Amino acid sequence: MSRASARSAAVLAGVAGTIATAAAGLRIWNEGLNVRGALPDVTGGAWAIDVLGAIAWCLPGVLIARRRPDLVFGWLALVAALGHGLAALGLQVAVARQLGDHDLPGVAWGLWCASWGPAVELPVLAVIYVLFPDGRRMVGRLGRLSLLAPIIVAAGLLLEMLAPFSDSFGITDGGPFAGVHNPLTGDRSTQLPPGVPLIAVGMILASAAVLWRWHRASGDARTELHGLAFLAALAPLVVVAVVALPARYGFAVGEIETFLEIAVITAVVLRYQLFGIEVALRRFAVYTTLIFAVAIGHAAIAAVATSFASDDTAATIATIVVALGVLPARDLLNRAVNRLLYGSRDDPIAVLAAVSRTSTSADEGADLLRQLALNVATMLRLPFVAIQVVGDEPALVAEAGERNGQAVREFALVHRGEPLGVLLTQPRHGETDLPTRDASLLEQIATQASIAVAATLMSIDVQRSRERLVVAVEDERRRLRRDLHDGLGPNLTAATFRLDTARALLASRIEEADELIGAVRADVAAALNDIRRLVYDLRPPALDDLGLIGALRRQLDVPSHNGLQVTIDASDTMPLMSAAVEVAAYRIVIEAVTNVRRHSGASSCRVSIRGDDQLRIEVCDDGPVADTWTAGVGLTAMSERATEVGGTFTAGPTPYGGRVEAALPLAGALR
């Protein structure tokens, strides 16, 4: 959309609206004059229909001409609006001059505009029938023939422009308009053929063209033509009514059909966003409504004021009151239309407050994010809003609305410097991108929403940790049961049987009984070893006897076959920690050093343990540098042990070798 075309469309619409408003004002001035007696073929409500027609044609004209200036029927619609406006104004000027004895110029030209102005819409409709909605005709011979329809209708309109006023208005000799002639042809007795038959033939051909296009179309193209095809099917009946019925009734039927066509065209353009113009409704709606409000308000105030003042004084009072109310009314309408199109965008505090309420009152998890996305979409009138969490498995996405083919705008969700995901939005129908004000507000919304996303992820992590803890406990119970049932149980049972046998042999075969008792002793010793192993797996006894550092020194002070030297850098006195954290720290260090011995090829390994706000563990080696580490059973086990107690774990290569780091909460932090 170029600025020049936008200005041109606005100017044409403004001119048409101004002319229509002036016509309405003159009609009020001409109240009480016997127009029907002087112009018998003029319909009683013709002036109102022309005023409304001018306004109605401005709607599709401005919408299409501003956004798609390359489509001819947008500009033609504005021409139709001008035609209706000129018809209404020209008739009222002529009436005021001839019947109201007001010294106004241009009587003949006024009647001339009134004679053909309303019919300008007919070539426009014919063009729309042939080219709507994409501005392209049908292909082939039928497509070329369809272009004849608007040409024939335009030829009929030209004949109407040249017709004598006696044919157009039923002017009789001796009446107030007896001496007024067509300014182009002059002689009222011109023998030009009437234009109505040509117009009727052209409109029937245009109707046939749109019906054929609808019949051949499919998918969205067919859907877009549904309403227009229905009205085109009624067009022959309308033509018959216009030709056969008296002028006043035929005119009314034709205009009803026209208003329906305008409504269908506008609805199709808005419903299917054909030209990206929905947002252009805002100013048009505001100023159109304001014009009607000013006109109606002026008339009402003037009518009330005439009961206690003269006509001139009443008109002055009405003008002053309306002038004082124009700006407040415009602001009020502007806010109402803005709210209709943009929601609460102009009240960012209310939007952010709603986001905050949703974050604290909605259910946790995915439901919270869905409610949050729905509230943002509703409050800003956005067709699609989604919250997508990155790095979550399975992927967590909450959506509101339907995603269309427009580009998606992303706003980062960051909490305490950590990226959590993105807020996805699409511009409103009729917009190619989000306006700057919307983008700025959505950035603030993303900041607020990141808190809700962080809380949701924390809730999900807690739930998953609980699930993992339950699974781990059940696995441990299953292992203990298997070890007791398959190992310790059979050993003790066998020892019992052998003791019974040895007891029976004591009286007669002492040597055999002694051998059996020796075997029983071995079985009991094996059972004791199994018990020690089970107890050690639950919690190493050395932790209770020596503490964390002492237990680690005993376990790691073992010569390695590959010559690995392990040093422990830690104070013998550690801060208070829970039993679970102590076991987790012990297991992580032992597993990390075991991995160094098995896989790193290092010659030295340093274990550093510090306790401040957390218990910080670092295991470093000087092995060859690797690009990446593949997570195996050992790394996974260490990570799970740290996570189970609420700590963090990282591991990987460094320029100097491998490094494992863990941070576990101390007892004071847990409280």
The CATH number of the domain holding residue 391 is 3.30.450.40
pLDDT of residue 227: 73
CA 47 vs CA 100, 117, 211: distances in Å: 17, 11, 32
CA 151 to CA 201: how far, in whole Å?
11
Q: What is the mean pLDDT of each run of 10 residues along the chain (671 residues)?
A: 73 86 82 72 72 81 76 81 85 80 77 81 82 73 80 85 76 73 68 76 83 74 74 74 66 71 69 48 55 66 70 67 66 65 69 68 64 78 79 66 72 80 76 73 80 75 70 67 64 69 69 72 72 66 83 79 81 82 89 85 89 89 80 82 87 87 74 35
**Residues 234, 248 share a domain:** yes
**Tokens 């030297």 sit on residue:** 565
**Residues 397, 263 share a domain:** no
Residue burial 398-420, b: 16+ Cβ < 10 Å; e: rest: bbbbeeeebeebebebbbeeeeb
How many residues belong to the chain?
671
**Residues 511, 374 share a domain:** no
**652 pairs with which residues across the strands?**
659
For residue 565, give the H/E element and its range: strand 565-569
Pairing of strands 565-569, 604-611: parallel
**617 pairs with which residues across the strands?**
609, 662
**Residues 99, 160 share a domain:** yes
**Residues 268, 334 share a domain:** no
CA 533 to CA 547: how far, in whole Å?
19
Residue burial 593-616, b: 16+ Cβ < 10 Å; e: rest: bebbbeebebeebbbebebeebbb
CA 306 to CA 441: how far, in whole Å?
51
**Tokens 């919690």 sit on residue:** 539
CA 450 to CA 457: how far, in whole Å?
10
| Final residue of a structural domain among 538, 568, 585 | 538
> Which residue segment(s) compose the domain that 511 sits in?
476-538
Query: What is the per-residue DSSP string for 566-627?
Result: EEEE--SSPPP--HHHHHHHHHHHHHHHHHIIIII--SEEEEEEEESSEEEEEEEE-PPP-S
User: For the chain, what is the largest distance between any 2 Cα atoms, rounded to a whole number of angstroms?
Assistant: 161
| Final residue of a structural domain among 489, 508, 538 | 538
The whole model's pTM is what?
0.44
Phi, psi dihedral angles at 509 (to 5 degrees)? -130, 85
What total of structural domains would you count in the chain?
Answer: 5
Between helix 46-67 and helix 3-29 the angle, nearest 10°, is 170
**389 pairs with which residues across the strands?**
396, 421
**Residues 643, 578 share a domain:** yes
3-state secondary structure of 419: strand
Phi, psi dihedral angles at 386 (to 5 degrees)? -140, 150
First to last CA, the chain: 64
**Residues 437, 330 share a domain:** no
**Residues 311, 169 share a domain:** no
Instruction: Give the contacts of 207 (CB within 8 A, at least 6 positions apart).
Output: 129, 232, 233, 235, 236
Which tokens hold the place of 362?
A: 């909605």
CA 380 to CA 398: how far, in whole Å?
17
Instruction: Give the contacts of 152 (CB within 8 A, at least 6 positions apart).
Output: 198, 199, 201, 202, 205
Which tokens hold the place of 509?
A: 């075969």
State CA 113 to chain mean position distance: 47
**Residues 35, 60 share a domain:** yes
Q: What residue type is 454 in one-letter code?
A: A
Contact, 269 vs 308, CB < 8 A?
Answer: no
**Residues 173, 93 share a domain:** yes
Which tokens hold the place of 627?
A: 């690009």
Between helix 226-244 and helix 196-216 the angle, nearest 10°, is 160
Other beta carbons less than 10 A from residue 341's beta carbon: 17
Dihedral sign, CA of 427, 430, 435, 441? negative
Helix, strand, coil percentages (3-state) for the chain, rounded to 5, are: 65, 10, 25
Contact, 101 vs 94, CB < 8 A?
Answer: no
**Residues 147, 214 share a domain:** yes
Contact, 401 vs 383, CB < 8 A?
Answer: yes
| Final residue of a structural domain among 342, 375, 390 | 342
Q: What residue type is 620 in one-letter code?
A: C
Q: Cis (ω within 30 of 0) for the bond into 133?
A: yes
**Residues 590, 530 share a domain:** no
pLDDT of residue 365: 58
CA 386 to CA 1: how far, in whole Å?
30
Pairing of strands 614-621, 604-611: antiparallel
For residue 277, give the H/E element and its range: none
